[in-house]
Amino acid sequence: MRTIKIFDTTLRDGEQSPGASMNVDEKVQVAKQLARLGVDIIEAGFAIASQGDFDAIKRIGDEVEGPILCSLARAKEGDIKRAWEAVRDAKRKRIHTFHSTSDIHLKHQFRIDRDEALKRSVEMVKYAKSFTDDVEFSPMDATRTDIGYLCDVVEAVIAAGALTVNIPDTVGYTIPEEFGKMIKTITQKVKNIHKAVIAVHCHNDLGLAAANSLAAVINGAGQIECTINGIGERAGNCSMEEVVMALRTRRDIYNADTKINTEEIMRSSRLVTKITGMSVQPNKAIVGANAFAHESGIHQDGLLKEKTTYEIIRPETVGFHKTKFVLGKHSGRHAFKTKLAELGFTLSDEELNSTFERFKNLADQKKDIYDQDIEALVSDEVTKVPEVFSLVDMKISAGLHEKPKAMIKLKVRGKDKQRTTNGDGPVDAVYKAITAITGTKSKLLKYEVKSITGGTDALGEVMVSLEEDGKSMSGHGADTDIIIASAKAYINVLNKLEAKKKKLK
């Protein structure tokens, strides 16, 4: 049974999804969850791309133990040096450098020939090797590269010291049969391939990223590069949860597994969703809301008699909590804290007090409290940003023959401000009033509502994306009243934008 390494690039390639950017604190929070999940390598960013990426990599190196910490770097001395400066204090570190090898990239983007590309690749692997022994190299656009030349590049960079050679399907172009054959050819033709781990980094432009990655494993790959929820450039990356559970479920086929603690998969998925604002489709494999939902009477009958009739994975295996009653309005602080521990959360006293107070308010409104409700409350607490704007009070009036109107009172930098505004609907009126009070000029890009749990008293979650000065940011809010949740989400993202402005000054 082989052990396949999981290289998580949620914080680098995943963050390149439009609108999915994260601040330093959010990156650190995700990295801590990735460590609990048990990934082998965290690609925490592209150190030279921005000061924010550099700072995030440094902090993760200081605060997160377990996985190897990696920074991406182009095959340039400045990039590699900056990457080293970012990871140098981590206990375990890696530099991941790359250069294009396909003729289409070399001709149109780099305007150099194959010999020059190979030379640069070798020189920069050697340069990275002067800082750390753990160096990874990627021949970008490998799946559109001449296979003979690709093998030459792989052999040369391994000779130069690369311990991992990643074969990326940069544009999501290949198919499983073709990609598997490519990996097999590399294992057979590259003389020194035994000195390095073959990794794969597949994009999902044709919906084949997970299938291509698994085909590579069958043919000798030992590392899969992937992201939580499959987020990333364009159509995204290979989904971590899909390849991990495919390997775990079909060990009879792959004769391979990972070190992933699968019970942390759902929590990881929800955290990334809340921070990026990128919702998971209900029918998404493994982590979608319907992944373990059964409506068919035939399926329900089979499941009641024997669960394996229609479930190939136990929901608990991936941390998917069954709907059940857990806590109510009569529960005390000790019971609440114990439940948090059962769910894997550790809060400071201040966070616990704040979350417990909001839990009691929620319990007064809802008859039943579910695990998902508590996770949403905790997420609200741990992902909050400094409040420049906070909601003090709101009143909404609307009717069949009455124009919707919202009275909003906010605390703005310590002072109460109030405004009453009409709108096309209750939410529109609320957002116009908030905008008038705060004086912000943000453009609403996305407004999304979903129910966290079932029933008419369900805790509703709203996700909002705003754009200001060409920068987009997402926020969320949860409440049994969807209008209040909408206000919380809008204020949350405004506070994030204010925090970003302050940091840039």
Convert the pLDDT of each residue in 7-41 to its tens digit. Answer: 999 999 988 887 788 999 999 999 999 999 999 99
309 inside domain: yes
Nearest residue to 435 (alpha-carbon basis) of 460, 404, 406: 406
Q: Do 240 and 96 belong to one domain?
A: yes
> Within this chain, do residues 373 and 446 fall inside the same structural domain, yes or no?
no
Q: What is the pLDDT of residue 471?
A: 72
Query: Around Cβ 458, how many Cβ atoms within 10 Å?
Result: 18
Residue of higher predicted confidence among 373 and 107: 107
Per-residue pLDDT at 134:
98
Give all strands (DSSP E) within 259-347, no chain letters.
none
Query: In this predicted structure, which of 327-336, 337-346, 394-403 has the lowest mean pLDDT?
Result: 327-336
Residue that finishes a domain, picked among 338, 357, 382: 382
Q: Is the pLDDT of residue 262 over 60?
A: yes
Structure-block tokens of residue 487: 């206000």
Q: What is the DSSP letter of 458?
A: P
What does the pLDDT read at residue 264? 97
Report if residue 336 sits inside a domain.
yes
470 against 163, higher pLDDT: 163
Tokens describing residue 293: 């939902």
CATH number at residue 402: 3.30.160.270
Q: Are 99 and 192 in a shared domain?
A: yes
Whether residue 22 is contained in a domain is answered as: yes
* Angle at which helices 333-342 and 371-382 cross, to 10°: 90
Choose the final residue of a domain: 382, 399, 426.
382
Residue 49: is its pLDDT beyond 70? yes
The range of the structural domain enclosing residue 373 comes to 321-382
The answer as to whether 434 is a domain residue is yes
State the pLDDT confidence band at 455, using cuts at 50, 70 and 90.
low
- Residue 135 in this model has a pLDDT that exceeds 70: yes
Has residue 85 got a pLDDT over 90? yes
Q: How far apart are CA 284 and CA 286, in angstroms?
A: 6
Note whether residue 285 is domain-resident.
no
pLDDT digits (tens, 9 = 90+) for 286-325: 998 777 665 444 554 665 577 778 788 888 899 886 533 3
pLDDT at 456: 64
Pairing of strands 2-3, 41-45: unpaired
Supply the pLDDT for residue 175.
Answer: 98
| Residue 493 in tokens | 């993202």
Is residue 284 in some structural domain? no
Residue 114 resides in a domain: yes
> Mean pLDDT: which of 336-345, 373-382, 473-482 is highest?
473-482
Could you give the CA distance from residue 135 to residue 403 in angstroms, rounded to a whole number? 63
Read off the pLDDT of each residue in 355-368 and give the average, rounded to a whole number: 75
282 domain-assigned: no
Residue range 412-425: average pLDDT?
94
Q: Are 287 and 229 in contact (CB under 8 A)?
A: yes
- The pLDDT value recorded for residue 323 is 35
Instruction: Based on the fold, state whether residues 489 and 425 are members of the same structural domain.
Output: yes
Question: Which one, of 65, 66, 27, lies nearest residue 46 by Cα?
Answer: 27
Token duo for residue 6 = 């999981």
Q: Is the pLDDT of residue 394 over 50?
A: yes
Q: In this structure, which amino acid lies at residue 348? A: S
Does 468 lie in the same domain as 395? Answer: yes
Percent of the chain with pLDDT over 90: 65
pLDDT at 503 (0 to 100): 59
State the Cα–Cα distance between residues 127 and 70, nearest whole angstrom.
16
| Residue labelled with tokens 């086929």 | 253
Instruction: Identify the pLDDT of residue 297.
Output: 43
The whole model's pTM is what? 0.73
- Mean pLDDT, range 362-367, rounded to an integer: 70
Are residues 329 and 197 both part of a single domain? no
The burial class, CB within 10 Å (0-12 / 13-18 / 19+), for 124 is buried
Looking at 332, 363, 382, the residue that finishes a domain is 382
Question: Which pLDDT score, from 0 to 100, does residue 343 have?
Answer: 74
371 and 393 both lie in a single domain: no
pLDDT computed for residue 177 by the predictor? 98
Question: Does 458 lie in the same domain as 366?
Answer: no
Select from 4, 480, 452, 468 the least CA-distant residue to 197.
4
Least confident of 69-73, 102-106, 294-298, 310-314: 294-298
- Do 430 and 466 lie in a common domain? yes
Same domain, 312 and 404: no
Residue type, 84: W
Position 76 scores a pLDDT of: 97
267 & 312 share domain: no
Number of domains within the chain: 4
Position 326 scores a pLDDT of 41
Identify the pLDDT of residue 295.
40
Contact 369, 480 (CB under 8 A): no
- Identify whether residues 344 and 456 lie together within a single domain: no
Examine the pLDDT at 149 and tell me if it is beyond 50: yes
